[in-house]
Amino acid sequence: MSAFDPELAALMPPAQAASSEQPQRLPTIAELRAQFDQYVTAPFRAYQEPLIPAESAYVVRDETVAVEGGEIIVRTVVPVVEDERKAFPVLVHIHGGGRCVGSIELDDYFLRKLTVDLKLATVNVDYRLAPEHIFPTAVNDCLAALKWVVQNKPLLKADLTKGFLVGGHSAGASLAAVVVHEARDDPFFSGPGQQLTGQVIREPFVIHPDVYPDELKPYLLSMKENADLPPIPRASIDRNIKWYNPPPADPRFSPLLYPSHACLPRAFVQGMELDPLRDDAREYARALRTAGVTVRHIEYPGVTHGFHYGYPAISAAVRVREDLVQGIRWLLEKEA
């Protein structure tokens, strides 16, 4: 295993900078959500808050979307520009948190700045969480949000021919990978200007460890190699999966197992070297390339899963976000 990034190691609690030999009690869902808010959402929001553009530069609204069995909220941010007739590309964002924790508050401030800097509309999806809402609720909610975008282009001042992206981090990346496959095969998205044009896949989980194909087992090693590394050791991953309760081999949970990855939109993929999910990112990128999809994949040495949220000011975290913005710019270009 490579050494930790020095800046990251200096900030992590000493017990986290090395593998733990004694398994610790896993928190309850209420404890886990409180910890996520304290150690992930709060530091990232505090870092991003001074960077938020002036309120006159964008319009933010929470919209209600009807879904099977209820409703969800999507937070929309639309740029304000001098030419009121100008239309924008759209990024649909799906937050991380193992499908059990997190909310649209996590990336809210970052997306406001991204909206203004790149002149695109963003739609931040507050999908329903496990264990209260098990598989495939999160998938269905995110697909409903995608369809809502197509149906509400005037509200978003959107022109999807300029770009229709979906992406997310961690569980959000897994959900994004699922919905790009589902949308490819759904006639709803077959109309002119309704096809997804890009996917932003950041530290994804793309296959359940119990269903690794034999031919991929030599390449899917990080779940074992990095099993005890923070902030999501293997035991936490297994617990979150149990709460979500998916069939392991269902491609809507393990999107690497879709029969085909052809004809998907091009992808920007990020992975972390010391992440149990490192090889998920590698193999998803490789599967897309093999199917003829254009991919940019960046892996960051010496850092762990989602470190850039808890420690947003260190150099490696700044680079991750800078690369993310450039990756989105690339996805919005007309030529690969």
Q: In this predicted model, which residue has the larger pLDDT, 3 or 148?
A: 148
Examine residue 234 and state whether it is found in any structural domain, yes or no: yes
Per-residue pLDDT tens for 104-129? 999 999 999 999 999 999 999 999 99
In this prediction, residue 19 has a pLDDT band, given cuts at 50, 70 and 90, of: very low
- State which H helix or E strand residue 8 sits in: helix 6-11
Examine residue 321 and state whether it is found in any structural domain, yes or no: yes
Q: Does residue 25 surpass a pLDDT of 90? A: no
- Among 106, 79, 291, smallest CA distance to 202 is for 106
Q: Does residue 336 surpass a pLDDT of 50? A: no
Note whether 43 and 109 are within 8 A (CB). Answer: no
* Max Cα-Cα span within the chain: 61
Examine residue 62 and state whether it is found in any structural domain, yes or no: yes
- Distance between CA atoms of 240 and 242, rounded to whole angstroms? 5
Domain count, the chain: 1
Cβ neighbours for 252, distance < 8 A, ≥ 6 positions apart: 135, 136, 139, 178, 182, 246
**Which residue among 126, 275, 279, 280 is the active-site one?**
275
pLDDT given at position 1: 62
Examine residue 1 and state whether it is found in any structural domain, yes or no: no
Note whether 85 and 146 are within 8 A (CB). Answer: no
- Distance between CA atoms of 211 and 158, rounded to whole angstroms? 40
Residue 170, by phi and psi: left (phi above 0), alpha (psi -120 to 50) or beta?
A: left
Structural domain that includes position 189: 6-19+28-332
pLDDT given at position 2: 77
Per-residue pLDDT tens for 72-92? 999 999 999 999 899 999 999
pLDDT given at position 175: 98
Neighbours of 87 (CB within 10 A): 16
**Which residue among 103, 170, 222, 254 is the active-site one?**
170
- Of 34-38, 51-55, 317-321, 331-335, the range with the lowest mean pLDDT is 331-335
In this prediction, residue 282 has a pLDDT band, given cuts at 50, 70 and 90, of: very high
- Distance between CA atoms of 3 and 24, rounded to whole angstroms? 23
- State which H helix or E strand residue 244 sits in: helix 234-244
Neighbours of 9 (CB within 10 A): 15
pLDDT given at position 81: 96
Neighbours of 181 (CB within 10 A): 19
- Among 323, 309, 333, smallest CA distance to 107 is for 309
pLDDT given at position 26: 79
**pTM to 2 decimal places:** 0.96
**Is 305 tagged catalytic?**
yes
- Distance between CA atoms of 172 and 180, rounded to whole angstroms? 12
3-state secondary structure (DSSP) of residue 303: coil
pLDDT given at position 210: 98
Round the average pLDDT of the chain to a whole number and report it: 95
**Is 174 tagged catalytic?**
no
Q: Does residue 335 surpass a pLDDT of 60? A: no
Give the residue-averaged pLDDT of 258-269.
98
- Among 41, 15, 12, 157, smallest CA distance to 90 is for 157
Note whether 308 and 320 are within 8 A (CB). Answer: yes
pLDDT given at position 192: 87
Q: Does residue 94 surpass a pLDDT of 90? A: yes
pLDDT given at position 24: 64
Joined together, the tokens standing for residue 261 give 């990855």
Q: Does residue 160 surpass a pLDDT of 50? A: yes
Q: Is 214 exposed, middle or buried (CB count within 10 Å of its CB: 0-12, 13-18, 19+)?
A: exposed
Joined together, the tokens standing for residue 133 give 């809402």
- Distance between CA atoms of 11 and 104, rounded to whole angstroms? 26
Q: Is 55 exposed, middle or buried (CB count within 10 Å of its CB: 0-12, 13-18, 19+)?
A: exposed
Per-residue pLDDT tens for 213-246? 999 999 999 999 999 998 999 999 999 999 999 9
CATH code, domain carrying 284: 3.40.50.1820
